[in-house]
Every structure is written in C-alpha cells, then in structure tokens.
Amino acid sequence: MYDRAVRRRRLTLAALLALSLLLLTAYFGESSGGVLHSAQRGVFGVFAPIQDGASRVLKPGRDLFGWFGDTIDAKGRVGELERSNRNLRARAIAGSEAERVNGQLRQLLNLDNAGGLAAAKPVTARVIGQSPTVWYASVTINEGSNRGVKVGNPVINGDGLVGQVSTVTGDAAVVTLISDGELAVPARVSVGGAQGVAQTGAGGPEDLRLKFIARRFRLDPGATVVTAGTVSNSPGLESLYPPGIPIGSVTRVEDPETDAQKIYLRTFADLRKLEIVQVLTSSINGNRR
C-alpha cells in the first residue's frame, strides 16, 4: 500500500510538471491576445481589488511594526551616539585639565629659571583643600615633611608668592596665604628699591598693603613689588623669602609722599584659584640680596 501511494504521488507530480511546462510553452508561444493571456488578465482583474483591499487593511499593522523597528534602531543609534559623546567629553575634559596643569607647571619652571629658584630645591605640590572662610587665609597641599617641607618655607605658584608653610605632617602641609593678616613679608619696589613690608590690613584679603615706605619715595599705580630678601646682616635675621619673588603691583596710593601714605597692592597670584604650587625647601645663600 505504501509503495502504491508513493508511485501515485510521483506520477501526479510528474503530470503537474509536464502540464506546467506545456502551459508555459503555450503562453510564451501565443500572441498577447491568446487564450492564456486573456485568462491571466481575467484572474488579475478579479484578484487585484482583493489584493488592494487586503493591502489597505494590513497597512496600519505593517506601519506599526515598521515604526517599532525604526524606533528600536533609532534608540540603538542614539545610545551609541550618547556613549560616543560621553567618551569624547571625557577625553576633552581630561585634555583641558592636562593643558591647564601643564600651563601652570610651565609658569613655575619659567619663574624658577628667571629667579634662580631652582637652587631652593622646590617641591611641587597640589592644593587639596582651601580655607572655607571668605578670607582665603590658608590652603592644604599634598606634600609634607617626607619631601623635605618645613614650617616657614615660602610657597609660590607660576605668578609669584603665595604664602608660607605654617603646619606640616608627613604627607601634607598647611600654607598660610599672604592674604592672612598674620603674615608679613619683607618687600621692595623693583624700580627705585624702596623697602617695606607687604601685609594685609584690617579690611581683609583685598586690603594688602606695602607698609613702612619712607615719605621720600613716590610710588605710582602699576609699580611692581617683590620679596626683598635679607634686610639685615645680623645672624638669625635672614629672610625666609628669597629675593626677587613677584608679590604684586601697586593699585593706588593714598596721601602720597607723607608719613601717613597708604600703598595698596594686588597680588599677582590669584589666591582663590590655586591648584599647583611649589614649596621652596632650602634658602639661597642665606636668602640675601
């Protein structure tokens, strides 16, 4: 029974194939007005409206599936773009950070070379904390006695004098800024050589003054003030600050050329934006001028 069923299926398939070949041969052999062509047009005319109707009915479903597919693809592309943007942003931030730090290091190197401060065995440090008060009186740095930092060491950045080390631990130190009224720095005017003391007055960090300047010295706004170095040859009175470190410039003078004259300064270093500093851990020839 099974063999007869198989033979019938094979004979039926062969007959269908033969009939298909016969119809195809006849279709391509007759003219466009032939029977087979006419039958094709008739079938097409019957099923075309049905096909069109089915297409219209199914179109919303196809559009919906297409929308889902496009949305998923779009979300995938958006995710890739966001990841790419995050990577680019991270690289840009890292690049700008490195560029800014490198700029500060170059400034420090220029100041070391120009002022001969390399002999002071400078230790480069990063500011890791700042006084929370409006006085900006101190900052904390990430280097300490393990690198030779000691209390009293001067601290600079690429613009000039920042302050003095006041507290030291093994791996950190506190720097009292020049804006703190407790700090007094022997100073002199670059042009003319008038000597005095740079110290913040009672008005706060914006009230840095050059005090004890003799009345015979006339100072004009814009004059540069630097550290004076040693002002006495007596042992034990050497200045903590090497000479010639930029401090700031004169902004205004009240009651000039009198015993009551007040000379106001603005520091070259922006004490509110300190990042990279150097601690001068050794004196230079007794820090004499």
What's the pLDDT score for residue 147?
93
- Of 63-67, 73-77, 91-95, 119-123, the range with the highest mean pLDDT is 119-123
Going along 131-258, which residue ranges are E strands? Answer: 138-141, 154-157, 160-168, 173-177, 184-189, 195-200, 208-211, 224-227, 246-254
> Quick one: average pLDDT of 280-285?
83
The HSE-up count of residue 145 (CA atoms within 13 Å, CB side) is 7
User: Which residues lie below 8 Å from residue 150, measured CB to CB, with a gap of 6+?
Assistant: 165, 168, 281
Query: Confidence band (pLDDT; 50, 70, 90) for 55?
Result: low
Q: Tell me: the pLDDT tens digits for 182-219?
A: 888 999 898 888 888 998 877 666 778 898 888 888 88
Residue 233 has pLDDT above 80, yes or no: no
Going along the chain, which residue ranges are E strands? Answer: 122-130, 138-141, 154-157, 160-168, 173-177, 184-189, 195-200, 208-211, 224-227, 246-254, 262-267, 276-280
Residue 80 has pLDDT above 60, yes or no: yes
What's the pLDDT score for residue 149?
94
What's the pLDDT score for residue 132?
66
Kindly report the CA angle at 250 between 223 and 199, in degrees rounded to 5?
Answer: 125
> Which of residues 179 and 49 earns the better pLDDT score?
179
Query: Confidence band (pLDDT; 50, 70, 90) for 114?
Result: low
Query: Confidence band (pLDDT; 50, 70, 90) for 265?
Result: very high
Kindly report the CA angle at 68 between 65 and 73, in degrees rounded to 5?
Answer: 125
> Which of residues 181 and 108 earns the better pLDDT score?
181
What's the pLDDT score for residue 164?
94
> Which of residues 224 and 28 earns the better pLDDT score?
224
The owner of tokens 């991270």 is 90
Q: Tell me: the pLDDT tens digits for 122-149?
A: 999 999 888 766 556 889 999 999 999 9
